Structure formats: C-alpha cells, structure tokens
C-alpha cells in the first residue's frame, strides 16, 4: 500500500459487509482513519476506528451518528455512501412499502448522509456515492432498485454543482454484478440461469469482487482524482460497453 490517504478522515456507510467493508479495509490500509456506520455492530475484524449503528434512512438517527463520527475522527475529509438494499418487483406489481424501503435506503439515505456530512468538509474533500449500472440502463423486474440508483447518479451530479464551488468533489461508482452478501441470492440454484446470463453480459466473463470496487472508490477519494468531479465511473467488467457475438468464435 502507498499511504494515498494518509491523514484523511473517512466515513463509510454500509461498512459491515460487501463493498462498504472492502472500502473500510482498503482505506485504512492506505493510511486513513476510518469510521463505519451500519445497522449492525462492528465486526470483530473491521479496521474501523469509530463505529455507529444507525439507519441511513432515519434522519434523526443518522444526523446524530454523523456528528458523533466527526467528533470521533476530529473532522471529516471523505464520505463513501455504500449502504444499500436490493429489491425485486416490476412497476405493476411492486408493493408501495417495498418502494419506500428501497428509495429510503438507497437514495434518501445517500442524500441524508451527504447532507449531514458536507458541512463538516473543507476544500479537498470527496464524496463517493455507490450507484449501479442499473442506474444507467433498465433491467426488468427491478423497478425500485433501478430508480433508486438512477436517482443516486443524478443526485451526484446535483451535489457536484452545489459543492464544487467549496472545493468538495462528488462522484459515484456504477458497479456491475459484484459478489457480496446482497447479491448472494443469485448463488441459489433456482437462479442459476439468471446468474449465468448476467455474468455472460460482462465482457470479462465473470462477476466482480468488492475489493475491485473499493479500489475504484480509493481513486475517486484520493488526490489522484483531483479534477474528477460529477462523474459516474462504471466498474462493470465491460457490461455496458457492448455485446459479444459468441457465434463468431
């Protein structure tokens, strides 16, 4: 590791597992002091120095948690909004409560954490939001998730316009299929055909690892990305790049 974040103070939401946990580990390894927020208690192997339990969708709870993180870290330089939930359901049959749950965590939660964090940040700060390729293109049967992640992409761009004059950069990541606890349902044999099709769409022919997304988040958070702002960086093994004709092999 290269200490690319030495002296930086970082908040990661969804920090207990998946991409969030990978960000905690990678950022700490690069010299940052890291705080985590999640619904669950701090995993015993987490590198987070400060930990708070809170729902990102709960305005009162997350506001207090962010303030406590800032106190614990003595400031804040980087925020990674990695908290998220998955959902299945098309526009006709989706339950209203499920819509509210997904939008509440994925979109409202990203906004709330950023809203409460940004006043503590100064020039050189960076916010990295986790969107998805499903926020860029539509997928059948995942209406609420698609809409929530599409909202994160546009929220990122609006925040870039709002916070750029203060020298705070805002970007988002759009991962493809990443092997995390959230996507583990696709390991069920009942979903084998769906998983195979999804993986086939990735031109690299495989799903991604949380560490690969964390590496992209590290770039956006670091000074190496000092002129990257308002960007939706795709990390999808080529899924959105195009389609390959296997019949030509």
Where are the chain's structural domains? Answer: 9-248
Match 């506001």 to its residue by tokens. Answer: 63
- Mean pLDDT over 67-89 rounds to 96
In three-state secondary structure terms, 93 is coil
Mean pLDDT, rounded, of the chain: 95
pLDDT tens track for 15-27: 999 999 999 999 9
Is the predicted pLDDT of residue 221 greater than 80, yes or no? yes
Do 64 and 79 meet the contact criterion of CB atoms below 8 Å apart? no
- Mean pLDDT over 128-142 rounds to 95
Q: How many CB atoms lie within 10 A of CB 163?
A: 20
What pLDDT is recorded for position 190? 76
Question: Which DSSP symbol is given to 42?
Answer: P
Do 204 and 242 meet the contact criterion of CB atoms below 8 Å apart? no
What pLDDT is recorded for position 156? 98
- Mean pLDDT over 224-236 rounds to 98
Dig out the tokens for 206 from the structure: 């495989």
Contacts of 115 (CB under 8 A, 6+ apart): none
- For residue 13, report the phi and psi dihedrals to the nearest 5 degrees: -95, 160
Percentage of the chain beyond pLDDT 90 is: 86
Is the four-CA dihedral 118, 124, 130, 131 of positive or negative sign?
positive
150-154 LR contacts (CB < 8 Å, sep 24+):
151/103, 151/106, 151/107, 152/81, 152/106, 152/107, 152/110, 153/232
Do 18 and 82 meet the contact criterion of CB atoms below 8 Å apart? yes
In three-state secondary structure terms, 207 is coil
What pLDDT is recorded for position 1? 66
**Residue scoring higher pLDDT (33 or 188):** 33
Catalytic site residues?
A: 145
Is the predicted pLDDT of residue 44 greater than 70, yes or no? yes
Burial class (CB in 10 A: 0-12, 13-18, 19+), 102: buried
CATH topology of domain 9-248: Rossmann fold (3.40.50)
What pLDDT is recorded for position 2? 78
**Residue scoring higher pLDDT (249 or 225):** 225
pTM, two decimal places: 0.95
Strand spans (E) along 121-168? 126-130
What pLDDT is recorded for position 137? 95
Is the predicted pLDDT of residue 3 greater than 80, yes or no? yes
What pLDDT is recorded for position 35? 98
- Tell me how far apart the alpha carbons of residues 43 and 31 are, in angstroms, rounded to a whole number: 20
pLDDT range class, residue 246, cuts 50, 70, 90: confident
In three-state secondary structure terms, 84 is coil
pLDDT tens track for 79-133: 999 999 998 899 999 999 999 999 999 999 999 999 999 999 999 999 999 999 9
What pLDDT is recorded for position 50? 98
């Amino acid at each position: 590791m290269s200490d690319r974040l030495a002296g930086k103070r970082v908040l990661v939401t969804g920090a207990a597992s998946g991409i969030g946990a990978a960000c905690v580990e990678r950022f700490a390894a690069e010299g940052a002091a890291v705080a985590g927020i999640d619904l669950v208690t701090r995993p015993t192997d987490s590198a987070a120095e400060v930990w708070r339990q809170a729902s990102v969708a709960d305005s009162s709870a997350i506001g207090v948690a962010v303030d406590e993180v800032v106190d614990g870290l003595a400031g804040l330089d980087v925020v990674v909004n990695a908290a998220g939930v998955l959902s299945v359901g098309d526009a006709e049959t989706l339950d209203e409560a499920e819509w509210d749950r997904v939008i509440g965590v994925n979109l409202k939660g990203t906004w709330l954490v950023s809203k409460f964090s940004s006043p503590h940040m100064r020039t050189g700060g960076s916010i990295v939001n986790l969107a998805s390729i499903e926020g860029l293109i539509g997928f059948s049967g995942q209406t609420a998730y698609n809409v929530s992640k599409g909202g994160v992409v546009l929220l990122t761009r609006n925040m870039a316009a709002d916070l750029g004059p203060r020298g705070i950069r805002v970007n988002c990541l759009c991962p493809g299929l990443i092997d995390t606890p959230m996507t583990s349902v696709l390991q069920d044999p009942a979903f084998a055909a769906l998983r195979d099709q999804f993986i086939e769409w990735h031109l690299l022919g495989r799903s991604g690892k949380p560490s690969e997304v964390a590496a992209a988040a590290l770039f956006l958070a670091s000074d190496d990305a000092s002129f990257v702002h308002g960007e939706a960086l795709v990390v999808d093994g080529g899924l959105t790049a195009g389609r390959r004709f296997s019949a030509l092999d």
